[in-house]
Structures are given as structure tokens and as C-alpha cells.
Amino acid sequence: MTYHDKTNEQTHPPVIQPKLPRKLLLSVLGYEAAGALLGGSLLVAAPDGH
């Protein structure tokens, strides 16, 4: 049986990452996707701009 000494191990608290960058990224990607879909449908409806 071996004894494992835990005094030499560094214990780190769990890292809690903020949710703001993920929400910001998803909102920007959603905005871009909505613009692409709207722009594509407008181009199909009137490709020459009239």
C-alpha cells in the first residue's frame, strides 16, 4: 500500500468563466445570420435592386 502525500500538490479553486463573452459571441453570430438570411431573400426577390 502506498501513501500519497497531498501536501505538495497545488490545489486550485474551480475556475468559473463568465458567460458574457459567450452570450456576446452568440448574439453577434445570430445578428449576422439574420442579416444574411434577410439579405439573401431580398436578393432573390429583386436581384437588380428594383
Nearest alpha-carbon partner for 32 in 22, 40, 44, 42: 40
pLDDT tens column, 4-19 = 555 555 677 777 767 8
Q: How far apart are the C-alpha atoms of 25 and 18, rounded to whole Å? A: 13
pLDDT tens column, 29-46 = 999 999 999 999 988 888
Q: Nine-digit cell at 23?
A: 452570450
- Amino acid identity of residue 11, one-letter, is T
Residue 26: pLDDT above 70?
A: yes
Question: Looking at per-residue confidence, does 8 or 49 come out higher?
Answer: 49
Nearest alpha-carbon partner for 30 in 40, 41, 38: 38
